[in-house]
Amino acid sequence: QVQLVESGGGLVQAGGSLRLSCVASGVFVSANYMGWYLQAPGKQRELVATITTFGSTNYADSVKGRFTISRDNAKNTVYLQMNRLKPDDTGVYYCKAGRYAPTYWGQGTQVTVSS
């Protein structure tokens, strides 16, 4: 059974930083295409950052230079370091494993950035 558990969200002022974690079980983060997605209030879920099995990363234009995706294979965990946060970064952040079916999602962690 695959389980992804996100943590690290919270309330932060604009300009601040947070680090999100996604602990995986039942799947190896090193062997899967992993990603972070944001569902902002009233909007569809959108890609924020991805990391491939080779370690290549990709970012949404809105977060380039501010966010960094990484993984710790020993801990089977994927991280999203978020710096210089903006109010537009507010929403629920979801971790995803897999690029094509089957894919798996975590339950999400709320990030609120106040202006």
pLDDT, tens only, 25-61 = 999 999 999 999 999 999 999 999 999 999 999 999 9
* Residues 54-86 pLDDT 10s: 999 999 999 999 999 999 999 999 999 999 999
- Whole-angstrom Cα Rg for the chain: 13
Q: Which amino acid is at 103?
A: T
Contact 4, 22 (CB under 8 A): yes
Phi, psi (degrees; rounded to nearest 5) at 5: -125, 115
